[in-house]
């Protein structure tokens, strides 16, 4: 491995230039997928890549690929990149860092006259955020075969405009197949958490994705008038649900830092100030990097919930809802990333990703890994999102070394 550094000034300039496209007055970014700002950002990326000698292809779901040729042009490329779309009134680093750094990696290889065995493709995935068009991770899902192309093209925004018609309008309805063989995928992204910041680490070697297990929980008691019946005789489903929310919190904290336990949806169908709730519906969201621990967490909480219900004269029903198994990234790529960080002297640590990224889809079809860099206080999807120039450059250095390792094999 060679400790090649990317060009800091050029990287910073590129970040500033692309951040101006869809910039908000308070230093954030509003660049919804396939809107006018997204088109401008795509055009800018296309111009940069083309001018640098990396021919751009666009696939049928609008994802952009820019190729730096390899010695063995027939082999599947190493894919690097991320996404240029943003959440509404969000930050300038989520996604863009990974795309701009990928371009800088290819330019730096050119600067140093380094040829790779495999070709390298930069990618800008369409509609990672899922803010304008649901679901998120749309184009990478098509790439990996998780979504049919027609399904993805038919998605509509709240105004009834489809992905297909908006791709057509902005000139990114491409002809390339959405999905092709790749040898590996590496994505650089801000952490959107505080693990790196708290550990004073610059580089996160992402171990994979936590598993997500969602269960619909219904707590059943008896609707009665809030007045006549003595409180002792009530079967108040909301009192039961409140105990369950606190049990979930307690169990989650006890398995810190690995577990995340959340009740983010809770509703009371009777919805009257004068009716003791006879039913409460909630969703229990469990996240853990280890599959067996996720199973154990679910079993433990369902048992606690059942005990609470029994004690209060209530009943409780469970219905499986979402279930994503944990994903473990390719060990070889993770070792490339770890070795790169060490070579550069960047403090690094292993951590799982707890938010969705396109790498979640791509890991289904190719060896995949991610590099995280810190973002201030973990704030993201917010105009005050911030990552330092130094950390972005460090991330790009590591992306370069890991890509080189993957592409020369």
User: Residues in the site for a second copy, rule: CB under 8 A?
Assistant: 191-195, 210, 214, 225-233, 236, 238-239, 241-243, 245-246, 249, 252-253, 256-257, 259-268, 270-277, 283, 285, 287, 321-322, 353-355, 378, 380-381
Q: CB of 403: closest distance to a second copy in angstroms?
A: 25
Nearest to 355 by CA among 78, 136, 102: 136
Q: Are strands 203-209 and 348-353 parallel, antiparallel or unpaired?
A: parallel
Q: CB of 68: closest distance to a second copy in angstroms?
A: 32
Beta partners for residue 58, in sequence order: 64
| Cβ nearer to a second copy, comparing 76 with 269 | 269
The greatest distance separating any two alpha carbons of the chain, rounded to the nearest whole angstrom, comes to 85
Give, to the nearest 10 degrees, the angle between helix 8-19 and helix 96-111.
150
Instruction: Residue 272: count other Cβ atoms within 10 Å of its Cβ.
Output: 12
| Cβ nearer to a second copy, comparing 78 with 284 | 284
Q: CB of 277: closest distance to a second copy in angstroms?
A: 6
Q: CB of 99: closest distance to a second copy in angstroms?
A: 21
Q: CB of 238: closest distance to a second copy in angstroms?
A: 6
- CA 307 to chain centroid: 36
Q: CB of 220: closest distance to a second copy in angstroms?
A: 16
| Cβ nearer to a second copy, comparing 94 with 121 | 94
Q: Are 188 and 203 in contact (CB under 8 A)?
A: no
| Cβ nearer to a second copy, comparing 167 with 351 | 351
Q: CB of 387: closest distance to a second copy in angstroms?
A: 14
Nearest to 357 by CA among 214, 204, 157: 204
CA 90/CA 375 separation, integer angstroms: 13
| Cβ nearer to a second copy, comparing 176 with 354 | 354
| Cβ nearer to a second copy, comparing 116 with 243 | 243
| Cβ nearer to a second copy, comparing 140 with 183 | 140
Per the document, the length of the chain is 409
Question: How far, CA to CA in Å, does 144 sit from each of 75, 97, 139?
Answer: 18, 23, 9
CA 81/CA 95 separation, integer angstroms: 8
């Amino acid at each position: 491995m060679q400790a090649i550094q990317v060009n800091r000034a050029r990287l910073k300039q590129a970040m500033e230039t692309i951040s101006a496209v869809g910039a908000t007055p308070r230093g954030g970014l509003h660049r919804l997928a396939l809107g006018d700002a997204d088109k401008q950002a795509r055009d800018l990326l296309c111009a940069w890549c083309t001018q640098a000698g990396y021919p751009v292809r666009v696939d049928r779901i609008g994802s952009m690929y820019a190729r730096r040729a390899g010695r063995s042009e027939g082999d599947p490329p190493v894919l690097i990149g991320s996404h240029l779309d943003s959440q509404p009134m969000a930050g300038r680093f989520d996604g863009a860092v990974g795309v701009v750094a990928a371009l800088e990696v290819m330019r730096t290889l050119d600067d140093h006259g380094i040829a790779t065995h495999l070709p390298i493709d930069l990618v800008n995935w369409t509609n990672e955020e899922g803010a304008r068009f649901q679901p998120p991770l749309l184009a990478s899902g098509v790439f990996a075969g998780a979504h049919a192309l027609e399904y993805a093209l038919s998605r509509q925004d709240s105004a009834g405009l489809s992905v297909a018609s908006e791709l057509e309008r902005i000139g990114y309805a491409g002809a390339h197949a959405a999905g092709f063989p790749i040898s590996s995928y590496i994505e650089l992204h801000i952490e959107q958490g505080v693990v790196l910041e708290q550990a004073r680490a610059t580089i996160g070697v992402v171990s994979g994705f936590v598993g997500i297990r969602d269960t619909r929980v219904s707590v059943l008691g008896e609707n009665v008038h809030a007045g006549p019946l003595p409180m002792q005789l009530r079967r108040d489903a909301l009192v039961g649900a409140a105990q369950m929310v606190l049990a979930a919190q307690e169990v989650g904290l006890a398995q810190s830092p690995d577990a995340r336990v959340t009740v983010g949806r809770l509703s009371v169908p009777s919805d009257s100030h004068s009716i003791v709730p006879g039913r409460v519906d909630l969703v229990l969201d469990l996240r853990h990097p280890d599959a067996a621990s996720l199973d154990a967490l679910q079993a433990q909480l369902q048992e606690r919930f059942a005990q609470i219900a029994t004690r209060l004269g209530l009943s409780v029903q469970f219905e499986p809802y979402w279930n994503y198994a944990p994903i473990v990234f390719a060990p070889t790529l993770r070792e490339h990333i770890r070795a790169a960080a060490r070579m550069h002297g960047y403090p690094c640590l292993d951590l799982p990703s707890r938010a969705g990224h396109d790498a979640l889809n791509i890991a289904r079809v190719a060896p995949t890994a991610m590099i995280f860099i810190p973002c201030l206080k973990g704030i993201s999807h917010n105009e005050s999102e911030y990552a330092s120039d130094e950390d972005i450059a460090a991330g790009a250095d590591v992306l370069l070394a890991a890509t080189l390792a993957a592409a020369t094999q």
